[in-house]
Every structure is written in C-alpha cells, then in structure tokens.
A and B are shown apart, each in its own frame.
Chain A
Amino acid sequence: MSALDTGVVSHGVTESRVGQHGFPWGKALRHLLLIVFLAIVLIPVYVLLVTSFKTQTDAQPAHAWLLPNEWTLENWKKAWNGPSAAVPGVGPAMIRTFQLVIPSTIISAFLGSMNGYVLSRWRFPHANAVFTFLLFGMFIPYQAVMVPLYRLVQWLKPVTSWVDALPTVPDGIPILILLHVVYGIPITTLIFRNYYESVPQELIEAARVDGAGMLRTYASVVLPISVPSFVVVLIWQFTSAWNDFLFAKFFVANPDKSVVTIALNNLAGGSIMSDHGVEMAAALLASFPTLIIYVALGKYFLGGLMAGSVKG
C-alpha cells in the first residue's frame, strides 16, 4: 500500500496551470461528483441514525426520510436488552462476541507471526512448498467444508463441552475460537511472511552468530520489529471474526447463546410487525466496534484488506 500512502503525485500540476486562465470548471465538476457520491454512500448511515432515534409512530412511511419529531433513546435500550422476552438483544451477544474475538485474534496473530518467521527468516528445506500448502486454505469457499466440519465439530463435542462447562465461557464460543484460529492461519501467515521478507537476513544471522536459538532470535530480534504487521493482523482478524455470520449460523445458531451477527439477524428478521427503530439501533450497535477500529486505524485496515482480499 506504499503507493497510496506516499501518493502525493505531481501530475495534477498541468491541470492547475490550465485552470489559472479562468474558473477551473473541470476541478469544480470533479469535486461536485465526489460530493454527490459521498452523499449516496452515506444514505444508509443517515437512515440508520435517523430511524434509530424515532418512536414507532414516527417511523411511519410518510416520515420515513425526515428527522425524528421527538428524539428517543428507547430503541437503543430495546436493541441492547432485547425488544421482548422472546427476542434477545444484541448487548449480551456483543459481550460474548468480545469473548470470542479477543482470544481468537491474539492466538491467530502469534501463530501467524511464528509461521511467517520460520517460513521466511528461519527457513527449512521446502519452506516454500509448506507456505503454498498453508496458503491454499485461504481460497476455499467455506461452504465446501461445512458438511464434514459439522461432523468433526460433533465429534469434538466431548472436548469442547468440557471447555464450555467452565463458568466464564459461553457455550459454543470455544468451537468458534478454534475455527477462526484455524481458518485464520493462511492469511495471518501470509501477512507476516511478506513483512518479514523485508527484514534483512543479516539481522537474524547476527543474532544466530551470537549463539541465539530460534525462539531467542524471534523474541529479541523479530518480535520487537513486528508491530506494524501485528496491527494489520489484529485488525483483520478482529473484523472478520466480529463480522462472521457463516460459522456462527452453522455451529451456534441459537440467538440466546450466539454472537452478535446471529442476535442481530434474529432481531431484525424475526417478526412480521418489525420495529425498524430497534433494528437500526441494533445494527449500529453491532457495527460500532469495527467502525471505531476503522476510523482509528484506517491505514492499517487497508493493509489487511489488500492482503486478505480472497480469503474464504
């Protein structure tokens, strides 16, 4: 992504020189178009925000696109706690999702970092073949493995139910952690390997000559310079695990026990007489963690996107 970051390119010069002779029509038109597209992209955000603060009577078709007559926080409360006894809210689900996403993200990052390290800077024979072997996992559509994975998960039940029985662990979350870690291996390995390829081999050799072993070199030389890659991988894994719906739908479909996407889908898709205000508030709540990361660490986010674009 260096091309984007350092992208202050000077070919706009010709144009601005032309523009000096009069009003720069081209430039104005370009900015107008950019603003129109900006508005279009933001339409769903406007709808989400406005509707989430409306009372149910206020959300009637005739007022659909207007600002609320009276602003209310009721939808947000209902979205968090659940609109009725039968429909769970996204609040508890968000807490469970954090319990899923944080451990799986951290494990994935370290696993990927160590894999990337031995595949690029502490190599062994056929390291490239092993890398390709791992990387293939990135391209498969998960639908292709879902049926046998279902059987494997059933088969693992004795182990996972033991973990589930631990008091602080929500049922079903351990299996999702396992799946996110396993299917995260290819992408995290790829990001770290590509990054470590740019680290001078001399740095590692120097530590090696000093008699440091593989893990010592990793901890004292490689790990301290890995921060940028860790940020990219943490963001990527956090976002994909937080937004995951497929694995949760197949393996922890009960909205009372599952992750935020399942709770949101259940809340928004359940009843015929839907309460749009609550749905929109729930959708916003469910999106906040990834949006905050995006706003705070956008540049790194893009780095992850570029690497992980074809992940299953």
Chain B
Amino acid sequence: MAASITRKRRGRFRRYGPPLLLISPSVILIGIFVYGLIGSAFQTSMTSAHSAAEFTGKQPTEFVFLGNYTAWLATKEAHHALLNQLIFTAVFLGGTLSLGFLWAWLLDKRAKAEGIFRSVYLFPMAVSAVAAGVVWKWLLNPNRDAKAYGLNRLFQTLGLDFMQNSWWTKNLTWGIAAIAMPAIWQMAGYVMALFLAGFRGIPNELREAARVDGANEWKLYRHVIFPQLSPVALSAIIIIGHMSLKTFDLIMSISKHTNYQTKIPAIEMYRYMAEGDYANAAMVGVVLLLIVLVLIIPYLIHTTRAEKNR
C-alpha cells in the first residue's frame, strides 16, 4: 500500500516535475518583481520616508497608514494633476477613437492601395515617444507671427492666422490637451487596426440580410454594424485609457517634470522620486495602480466570461 502511494507520487513527479521546474523561474521572478514589489510599494507609501536617509533605513520612519494619501489628495497639485489626467485621457480617447473609426470606415470599403494607407496610418506607433516628442515639441512651439515656426507658421502660410496657439505652454488648465495631439498621432492608427479587424469580422450575410430587409445605410449601421463593433470600441477605450495613465516619455520629452501645465500622476511620481520623497512617490504609484485596476478588472472579467461562452 505504502509502496504504491510512493510509486504514484513518483509518477506524478515524473509527469509534472519537469514542466513545473521549467516555469518556476518565471513564477519566482514575477512573484518578486510584480507582487512582491507592489506589496513593498504599498508599505513604503504608508510610511513617512520622505528622504533618502529615511528610505534606506539610516533614519527612523513612522507608520502613517493612509496619511500620505489623504494629505496628497487634499492638495491643489493633486487636483490639478488628476484634472490634467482627465482632460488628457478624454482628448486622447476622443481623438484616437474618432480618427481610428473614420480611417477604418474609409478603408473598409475597399480603397485602392489600402496597404499603403494602413501602413502609413500605423507607422507612428513604431516610433518612440521620445523621438515623437522631439518633432512635436517643434510643431507645438508657441512663437507667433514673425517668430513662429512649427504649426503656427503652417497656419499663417495657409491663411489661418487665427488658429495660432500657445499650445501647451500658457494655458494652465487646457494646455495638457495639446500634449494629447502627438499621443493621438501615435495611436490613432492602432485604433484603426482594431476597428478594421472589427469591420472585417462582421459576416457579409448580416449586411446582405439587412439590405434584403430593406434597411437603408443608416439603419444598417445603427442596427447591424455598430452593435457588432461595440466590443472593439470597448477594447480600444480600455487600451487607450490604460495607456493615457502611463504617459510619461512624451511629456518628459515635450515638456519637463517640473512644468505645472503638464503634470499628471505618472509625472508627479517621477518628480517625488527625483526629490527623494520616496513615500509620496510610492503613494502616487499605488494610486495609479488602483486606477488601472478599477479600469481593467471589470474588463478582464468581462472578456474571460465572453471567451468561456464562445
């Protein structure tokens, strides 16, 4: 009896030992670098480690529980950063979704040289945000009239002088919206690819059936195409929203982390870190994580459920 159990165990080990061994380095690394560090960030965010000496344990720190969170959320800077985030996300979402949908719609009806359009619309995504920032900083230069270059000069040349703009530099509330322009430039093609796949996934019979039933173009879209595309739109919203929360490279390369106009939580996190305020850096990082989780967990549950039902 005992021998057979041992043999059984040995059999299980021979069967499952190798795959477990093969996957264990990844599990350990992710365990440490993701879960362990998130736990550690939570812990640091609840201490008073506002200097390097305190962070490295050379000076004592206190446990302040949610003190850093409540203190930060009470500041004007936090409200400003969160409002900036909201504006940026809204413009980024609006721009990518409308352009992405429009491009996909234009291409879906069998355009000539579709491949070229598709490749050009999508290519900005292959460029790093830092490189994109270099050219967009030039394009969004606030100089006007004789001193203007960038888009302001282009507007003059086109006779659209009134459109000259200080872009992100002057307007403390809406300036951040200008930073969304390069972000839209980079990501609209991606949303187009999502929508195009969505369009192409709609069975032709559905369209034909609707036409046979006498539906006009608008009704076809209203009752057939849009409902079929809504999962794609939802994915795009989640993906772009998620991306907008992590926007860092672009802002760092067009503006800088100390500029008031372009503060968002991801930038504030870096600013705290650069100032040696580790507790607040960790706190802002955790806030970002929580926002992402609120956004993404319902979506993940939704998609796994949808996959199971398929």
Contacts and interface: CB of A to CB of B under 8 A. Distances in A.
Given A61-B153, A310-B239, A261 B204 contact: no
Nearest to A290: B126
Nearest to B296: A139
| Size band of the interface chain A makes with B | 35 or more
B84 interface: no
B130 A245 contact: yes
A122 B21 CA distance: 12
Contact of A243 (B26, B129, B293): B129
Interface of B: 15-16, 18-20, 22-23, 25-27, 29-30, 32-34, 36-38, 40-41, 44, 55-56, 99, 103, 106-112, 117, 119-139, 143, 146-150, 153-154, 157, 185, 189-190, 193-194, 196-197, 200-201, 204, 207-208, 211, 235, 238-239, 242, 245-246, 248-249, 252-253, 256, 265-266, 269-270, 273, 278, 281-282, 284-286, 288-289, 292-293, 296, 300
A146 interface: yes
Contacts of A37: 99, 103, 117, 121
Contacts of B293: 139
Interface string A272-312: 00001001101110110011011100100110011001101
Given A41-B185, A140-B34, A280 B135 contact: yes
Interface in A244-267: 245-246, 249-250, 261, 264-265
A148 B135 contact: no
A124 B106 contact: no
Interface of A: 1, 3-4, 7, 9-12, 14-15, 30-31, 33-34, 37-38, 41-44, 47-48, 51, 61-62, 64-65, 111, 114-115, 117-119, 122-125, 127, 130, 133-134, 136-137, 139-152, 182-183, 185-186, 189, 213-215, 239, 242-243, 245-246, 249-250, 261, 264-265, 268-269, 276, 279-280, 282-284, 286-287, 290-291, 293-295, 298, 301-302, 305-306, 309-310, 312
Given A182-B33, A245-B129, A286-B128, 14 more contacts: A9-B108, A115-B22, A130-B23, A133-B30, A139-B293, A141-B246, A143-B246, A144-B38, A145-B38, A151-B55, A246-B248, A265-B133, A283-B134, A305-B190
B132 A44 contact: yes
Given A149-B37, A152-B37, A30 B109 contact: yes
Contacts of A284: 131
A38 B204 contact: no
A64 B135 contact: no
Interface SS of B by simple majority? helix
4 closest Cβ pairs, A-B complex: A243-B128, A64-B149, A148-B40, A144-B289
Determine the main DSSP class of A at the interface with B: helix
Nearest to A37: B103
